[in-house]
Amino acid sequence: MGNPLQSENHLEQQAIIQKRKPTRPRIGVFGVGYYKYWSQFEGLLDDMLRKQAVFVEKIQTGSHAEVIDFGLVDNVEKAYELVPKLNAANLDLIFCDMVTYATSNTFGTVIRSVNVPIVLVALQPDQAMDYTRASTYMQLYNDDICSLPEFAGVAARMGKKVPDMIIGTLYDDPQADAEIEEYCRIAAVLHDLKTSRIGHIGHPIEAMLDMHSDSTMFTAHFGAHIVQCEAHEIVTQYQRSDASEIEPVKERILDFFDTPDPVSDPISEKLRESDLEIAARVTVALEKFIEEKKLDGLAYYYEGPDNSETRTVMSNLIVGNSLLTGAGFPMCGESDLKTCFAMLIMERLGIGGSFAEFHPVDFKEGFVLVGHDGPHNVAIAQGRPVLRSLTKYHGKPGFGAGVEFKIKEGPITMLSINSTYDGKFKFVIAEGQSVEGPIPPTGNTNTRGFFKPDVRTFLQRWMKEGPTHHFALGVGHHAHAIQKIANYLNLESVIIRQD
């Protein structure tokens, strides 16, 4: 089990951008069995406890989670005793280890009273029974799936969603291991959604109705807190920074980014020393601001008066915010809180999450450019990201350094979070491919996105689901993992079909 971003290139980038400390979710495990078996089959209980210990160790060695083992529940009395312990443990996710057949009163009691996502795990120790030596003991030893229909039916009768299930073998089962690892990463997402502090500065561009959000709804649906911040808090840190802080950051930026000569875009130039100086100074200010406010991310848009220091600072957040996003702190332009959370979900899931929107379609080759002109997740760049000096930021005031790259070639996932008419959130999710080829040299990110069944049909299907014009763009195919997160949050979601 491992993080999808762990490659040599990404490890080098993470060292430069100083990745945040990994999230440590709290995961509970309890086993279920049937007490009547223990007196009938000597040694069976000990074997069941050993199976559960192997499963617990599998989680502990394959994730950053804090794992709490609540032991084996084999009758309803123990189930009732377990419920307050589970509720008191402040868990993000629970694995119910189906070590053998168990009556559903052990599970129904729990699922009725616990509002934490539960995953049923049925991992039998043997690939198959040895039928020439088969016995009732051997069957019970491998009877992990036997109770799954009963538990599913009881969940439905309790008015609860039927839990997700992992079915496989305890040993030498890469698919089961990958599913366990995915649920551990989902637990990290759920943990950080309900504990995160996301800063907010300014307001969306006045004309963009899809950007506006109700901060309270993020607390209602995710548990997060929106910290209302002021532009002058970053400007003050900018004013306090000195050369001893700025020079090392300039070196860090030049080590990380390429600075090529301009190509075809007349508003782009080779990175100017003055723009590098401002970008480094703003990066120093941003990192201090994030630390002082104890933020996990930021959504911002603030123009400031013409020719003011405030405008200089607030229009030059792109480089520092791209580095912070790559380090695990999603920083989102145009004051887009919803996409900031989409980026947070992807980052904690371990798949990146870069700020993106649709750019022109290539009808010759059948792809659409996806990117943006603001901060991006440099941890998922294909090769070295580029810095260019831009004489203007199109559609916005100011000028300065712009970040340009495409995300890693291969599978990609997109997540747009929009508000519905009744004030809830909806996840719009799609999978595609980042394809090889040139991108426009405009100082913006752009990825050549290929989507099935064809680019026209995909775009029509995406728009019909009512997304925002922004979305988070990550690496790998993880639509179903993101949909599970939406389900656990009791939010509507849709995966754009590819047929």
Per-residue pLDDT of the chain (499 residues; tens, 9 = 90+): 445 554 444 434 444 567 888 889 999 999 999 999 999 999 999 999 999 999 999 999 989 999 999 999 999 999 999 999 999 999 999 999 999 999 999 999 999 999 999 999 999 999 999 999 999 999 999 999 999 999 999 999 999 999 999 999 999 999 999 999 999 999 999 999 999 999 999 998 877 899 899 999 999 999 999 999 999 999 999 999 999 999 999 999 999 999 999 999 999 999 999 999 999 999 999 999 999 999 999 999 999 999 999 999 999 999 999 999 999 999 999 999 999 999 999 999 999 999 999 999 999 999 999 999 878 899 999 999 999 999 999 888 899 999 999 999 999 999 999 999 998 999 999 999 999 999 999 988 999 999 999 999 999 999 999 999 999 999 999 999 999 999 999 999 999 999 9
pLDDT at 4: 54
Backbone angles phi, psi at 363, to 5 degrees: -75, -15
- Hey, CA dihedral for 199, 202, 207, 212, is it positive or negative? positive
Across the beta sheet with 331-332, the strand order is 225-228, 197-202, 297-301, 331-332
Is this structure's pTM higher than 0.75? yes
pLDDT at 3: 52
Cα–Cα distances in angstroms (integers) from residue 472 to residues 97, 104, 453, in the given order = 34, 41, 21
3-state secondary structure at position 170: coil
3-state secondary structure at position 355: strand
Task: Give me 219's structure tokens.
Answer: 């607390």
Cα–Cα distances in angstroms (integers) from residue 198 to residues 20, 54, 288, 332, 348, in the given order = 15, 38, 15, 10, 14
